[in-house]
Amino acid sequence: MAFKEAVFLLLLFQTLNREAAATHWTYKGVEEWAEESPDCAGKRQSPVDISEPKAFVAPPFLFKNYGLINVSLQNNGHSLSVRLHPQQEQQRPRLAGGGLSGTFDLDGFHFHWGSEDSRGSEHLLGGCAFPAEMHLVHFKENNKTAPNPYFCRYKSVKEALKYDDGLAVLGVWLVPGRDSDSSAREDLGGGSTSDSDSKSTTRKTLEDDGTSDSDFKSTTRKTLEDDR
């Protein structure tokens, strides 16, 4: 499926509920989630509807090692999940800048889409959804507030979840390009699960036009204001 990126990139600082129930859930009745889990009563919740008064132009992001990377693909019956291949872990793609409090290593990325283009993305812009959304999940390289940051390096997403600033999820809204293949959506949306090894050029989606260096910048058009 050919996609072109939307002009908005959404930066999410995500604190996940580590004790979430294994029951089925939807985005209906979001305002009632706090009745089941007090953690859902905060100001940094998902999904997010970005409105113009709370949006601003952010500093550029700095991407490193976002070239051709080895990944493993999995259709888990719910989404297309892309994880770094073990041989890629020694040279993980990294994200910095953009208002982040440090450097974050890529763990993997996944996609959200729907049966209709009008409700595919998880997050909204002015109440409107996009056909699809990609989430690139990063965990913080190390804890700069610790006495010795070297020994507090987060080695995985699981470890980073223990800290409020442990994760940075970069969301990219996607819209179909002119050469989109409608059958690809059906292939991805199937209920069966599968695994495969592949290579992914995340750079092509994220880089600015004309940039060829291994370290490159991509300007976020709008990002959610930290309203804590």
The catalytic residues are: 78, 154
Helix (H/G/I), strand (E/B), else coil: 89 = helix
Q: Do the Cβ atoms of 65 and 105 come closer than 8 Å? A: no
By DSSP bridging, strand 80-84 and strand 68-75 are antiparallel
CA contacts within 13 A on the Cβ side of 102 = 19
Nearest to 17 by CA among 39, 49, 41, 48: 39
End-to-end CA distance of the chain: 38
Rounded Cα–Cα distance for residues 178 and 102 (Å): 37
Nearest to 63 by CA among 106, 20, 34: 106
Rounded Cα–Cα distance for residues 139 and 145 (Å): 16
